[in-house]
């Protein structure tokens, strides 16, 4: 199968290596001409995936129209807050005939767009006219690029309202080290994938403050409850949040040394300002902007998301961490399930 990947960061490269190993013809698009030249010449990205070689058969281009030549599936892997502009460029540069020939669009980026408060599949269908839900899928789960690229056993979920598309992805992406399950709850998978990054920021703050296992266990459990509450309001299935995209990805992102969002939380807990912490990151911590958009979404639709609220206030209002923790602990007491 011919597969195009929009985005040549660590996750895009990991997927390219995986899919090439499966025998697919893979093309990656890189936004920066300089970065595209570097990747073509060096065939590696040592700042993000040291030691991982991009196979010579994987084509790397800065020409977005070239990516779509003969592509049957297109994976969207650019950062969530640049997704809309990237797709606007696709709509402008790629012919209608070529776009209509794409069998499926696979969203592999996680986040909620600031301003519009839309999920990434909504941004996709906004900007590429003529795409219905039957040609869209979401790929998500506990899957750090650093591990997938090295063939460390990983399981993810492919979610689509079109069961045939989910099964197509399952068949063509599954390997001895990368197992794909199917799901029909795209919205739930996207919400879980987005909000878990905010909870992971809180997990990093916990680590940075020197709190203990009790605190981390409570955070992850109440984080799932918060994600589920949002999902229920937005028409998602509760069961999705108990699966790979929910609790699976949440646990991994909250405890992993690879987690950029957990690391970002540690930096905030060390006393750095948001801008100072961001300057120390070599990769995008999607949870930062998602905290902003998730907080705005909770206010818009009228649900309580206390962890998200306190993370937002710590990041953007400068609220002291100890005060945020105290306010979480001293909230009005409630039943566990409400």
User: What pLDDT sits at residue 206?
Assistant: 96
Model confidence at 102: pLDDT above 80: yes
Task: Report how far apart, in Å, the C-alpha atoms of 301 and of each of 145, 234, 297, 331 are.
Answer: 34, 9, 6, 21
286 pLDDT band (50/70/90 cuts)? confident
pLDDT tens digit string along 77-87? 999 999 999 99
Say whether pLDDT at 283 is over 90. no
Q: For 211-223, write each residue's pLDDT tens digit.
A: 999 999 999 999 9
- Residue 281: its pLDDT value, please? 84
Q: Kindly indicate the confidence band of residue 106, based on its pLDDT and cuts at 50, 70 and 90.
A: very high
Confidence of residue 7 (pLDDT cuts 50, 70, 90): very high
Task: Give residue-wise pLDDT tens across range 188-236.
Answer: 999 999 999 999 999 999 999 999 999 999 999 999 999 999 999 999 9
User: Cα(205)–Cα(83) distance, rounded to whole angstroms?
Assistant: 28
Which is nearest to 301 in space by CA: 218, 214, 206, 230?
230
279-290: average pLDDT: 85
**CATH number belonging to domain 2-184:** 3.40.50.720
pLDDT mean over 53-73: 96
Residue 282's pLDDT is what? Answer: 74
Which of 48, 59, 92, 196 is labelled catalytic? 196
- Band the pLDDT of 251: cuts 50, 70, 90: very high
pTM for the structure as a whole: 0.94
Average pLDDT of the segment spanning 95-106: 96
> What pLDDT band is residue 170 in, cutting at 50, 70 and 90?
very high
Is it true that domain 187-329 has CATH number 1.10.1040.10?
yes
- What's the chain's average pLDDT? 96
The model's confidence at residue 61, banded by pLDDT at 50, 70 and 90, is very high
Residue 338's pLDDT band (cuts 50, 70, 90): confident
**Residues in a beta bridge with 155:** 179
Structural domain spans, the chain: 2-184, 187-329
The rounded percent of the chain whose pLDDT value lies above 90 is 95
Q: What is the pLDDT confidence band of residue 99, given thresholds at 50, 70 and 90?
A: very high
Catalytic site includes residue 216: no
Q: What is the pLDDT of residue 212?
A: 95
Average pLDDT for 16-39: 98
Confidence bin at 284 (pLDDT 50/70/90)? confident
Residues 37-58: tens digit of each pLDDT: 999 999 999 999 999 999 999 9
Over its C-alpha atoms, the chain yields an Rg (Å, rounded) of: 19
């Amino acid at each position: 199968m011919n597969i195009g990947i929009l985005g040549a960061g660590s996750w895009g490269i990991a997927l390219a290596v995986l899919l090439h190993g499966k025998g697919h013809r893979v093309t990656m698009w890189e936004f920066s001409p300089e970065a595209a030249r570097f990747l073509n010449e060096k065939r590696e990205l040592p700042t993000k995936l040291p030691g991982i070689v991009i196979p010579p058969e994987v084509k790397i281009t800065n020409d977005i129209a070239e990516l779509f030549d003969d592509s049957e599936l297109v994976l969207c892997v650019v950062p969530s807050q640049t997704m809309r502009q990237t797709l606007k460029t696709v709509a402008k540069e790629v012919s209608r005939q070529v776009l209509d020939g794409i069998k499926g669009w696979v969203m592999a980026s996680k986040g909620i767009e600031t301003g519009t408060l839309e999920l990434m599949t909504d941004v996709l269908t906004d900007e590429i006219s003529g795409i219905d839900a039957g040609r869209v899928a979401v790929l998500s789960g506990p899957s750090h690029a650093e591990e997938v690229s090295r063939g460390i056993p990983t399981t993810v979920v492919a979610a689509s309202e079109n069961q045939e598309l989910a099964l197509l992805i399952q068949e063509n992406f599954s390997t001895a080290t990368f197992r794909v399950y199917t799901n029909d709850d795209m919205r739930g998978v996207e919400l879980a994938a987005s909000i878990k990054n905010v909870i992971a920021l809180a997990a990093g703050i916990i680590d940075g403050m020197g709190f203990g296992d009790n605190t981390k266990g409570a955070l992850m459990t109440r984080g799932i409850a918060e994600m589920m509450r949002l999902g229920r309001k937005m028409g998602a299935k509760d069961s999705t949040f108990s699966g790979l995209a929910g609790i699976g990805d949440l646990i991994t992102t909250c405890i992993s040394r690879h987690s950029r969002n957990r690391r970002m939380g540690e930096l905030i807990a060390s006393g750095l300002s948001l801008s100072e912490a961001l300057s120390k990151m070599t990769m995008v911590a999607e949870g930062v902007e998602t905290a902003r958009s998730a907080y705005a979404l909770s206010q818009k639709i009228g649900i309580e998301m206390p962890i998200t609220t306190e993370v937002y206030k710590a990041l953007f209002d400068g609220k002291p961490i100890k005060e945020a923790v105290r306010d979480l602990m001293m909230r009005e007491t409630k039943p566990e399930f409400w």
